Structure 1
């Protein structure tokens, strides 16, 4: 059985389906490694203009497979700490492959996206959800951190810091209606209509310029990568000090205020 199924439901659109419905498409390694490979192949397929990612059955992805994580390649002779690091790197590479793909990726969130499944959903560029879908940052419920696979980076950028903190720290479910309201997904639809809506959107995007859509994806992600808070504050501080110490603008502003006149800045 193929745990990842790839097809082309419409011209220029590649659909990648997680296909382990009896486990709600849990993130066993025999699912995630083929998923990364499928995304990379689609990303280099010049006939593919848009990628749609979804899950088979009633779930999108239920996160880590706690019963049978599957074989981890390339760990012969390694100790547990090294195996753990290699395992996380393999899963990180799945998230990064979605980010690196040339084409826009639409997440068709057909059901629950839990733990790593939420991370997977957040790594797509556009998310549409079935009305029965829900989202949970489940690590905190399992005595772990809710921050995994880039979630603490991706979620605040999608819905804002305060909402992301509350959702990740509480471990509560976010239903589809709330997900749409807070911007976690752009639309919710009845489950039977979800895939057609995603494919219609893919058709619309595919009709535009290749370089236009690919660069738009890059630019949108780059805008979110403008820098960390600390690095941005350092840049702000240097700019402020540069103007303050190399001009007389501040002194002119104070003087003009005392003289009840507009300032004349000479820089």
Structure 2
């Protein structure tokens, strides 16, 4: 019997968990897994969850693109190119969909995050890992480029251009200790401590409210692309005025005895 390539656990109403579920392939993405991941994001995006955790079943987080589908062709060269263009754009859309999700997303990287798996981790808002995790820009090792699924945009913003160039041009593996040291993740823990740490982080986020958390996530991503400090502050000002109009500030001030 075929197993679901992506599992969603919403037993905690505030924290949804997405678990990639192709452990025999180190959770590499094929077309069905990508479709299932999009469906999971749609389901969670429409829910009342305040935070999301993405992790992998078994030994891997995500080994990237499943190379078992690498020889697919569709008729002549033009048809094949069109097929691969559509597939590439669909796969890469995972990252922009994660970014558009209202809830902050935590990557709990339990094992190898390679190629598109690295891109998936970078597409999350926060990253923690176990000491079994390792990361690389894998496609340069198999005759493709390391510019894939948002990595060339997101990696230098996470760790700086020099380190990003080195990772992307060599394709070497970066272990958990180094990933933490260079800022690719902000915490490395034991395999047993990974999910408790992710859940604790998610619950801390959930304490802050849904709308202000969403606007904070959205503002952070938008201001990473801001053309100037003035433009960034303009967005911040509008977000603050919008939140002030909800009455949250006055309610909290009264609860704490300031009003």
Question: How far did 1:132 drift?
Answer: 1.1
> Are residues 71 and 104 of structure 1, via their aligned partners in 2, closer, same or farther at CA, if it must alter by over 3 Å?
farther
Aligned match of 1:81: 81
Tell me if 1:62 matches 2:63: yes
Aligned match of 2:49: 48
Aligned match of 2:215: 215
Aligned match of 1:12: 14
Unpaired runs of at least 5, structure 1: 236-267
Aligned match of 2:97: 97
Which segment is superposed worse, 182-191 or 211-220? 211-220
**Distance of 2:68 and 2:209 partners within structure 1:** 45
TM (norm. structure 2) is 0.83
Aligned match of 2:30: 28
> Are residues 175 and 187 of structure 1, via their aligned partners in 2, closer, same or farther at CA, if it must alter by over 3 Å?
same
**Distance of 1:137 and 1:92 partners within structure 2:** 15
Question: How far did 1:6 drift?
Answer: 0.3
| 2:28 counterpart SS class | coil
The correspondence of residues 176-255 of structure 1 with structure 2, limited to 5 A, is 176-227=176-227
**Distance of 2:217 and 2:71 partners within structure 1:** 33
**Distance of 2:113 and 2:63 partners within structure 1:** 6
TM (norm. structure 1) is 0.80
| 1:79 counterpart SS class | helix
Question: How far did 1:8 drift?
Answer: 2.0
CA deviation map 1:173-214 (0-9, x unaligned) = 110000000100010000011001101111111011211111
Aligned match of 1:116: 116
**Distance of 1:125 and 1:36 partners within structure 2:** 17
| 1:211 counterpart SS class | helix
> Are residues 9 and 177 of structure 1, via their aligned partners in 2, closer, same or farther at CA, if it must alter by over 3 Å?
farther
Aligned match of 2:256: none
**Distance of 1:83 and 1:38 partners within structure 2:** 24
Question: How far did 1:226 drift?
Answer: 1.9
**Contact 1:14 1:52 survives alignment (8 Å):** yes
Question: How far did 1:94 drift?
Answer: 1.2
Aligned match of 1:241: none
The correspondence of residues 144-159 of structure 1 with structure 2, limited to 5 A, is 144-159=144-159
Question: How far did 1:9 drift?
Answer: 4.6
Unpaired runs of at least 5, structure 2: 232-259
> Are residues 70 and 22 of structure 1, via their aligned partners in 2, closer, same or farther at CA, if it must alter by over 3 Å?
farther
**Distance of 1:112 and 1:9 partners within structure 2:** 27
**Distance of 2:71 and 2:5 partners within structure 1:** 12
Question: How far did 1:11 drift?
Answer: 2.9
**Distance of 1:113 and 1:163 partners within structure 2:** 17
- The CA RMSD over aligned residues, in Å, is 2.1
**Distance of 2:153 and 2:88 partners within structure 1:** 16
Corresponding pairs, count = 226
CA deviation map 1:21-47 (0-9, x unaligned) = 0000011111111101111221121x2
Question: How far did 1:69 drift?
Answer: 6.3
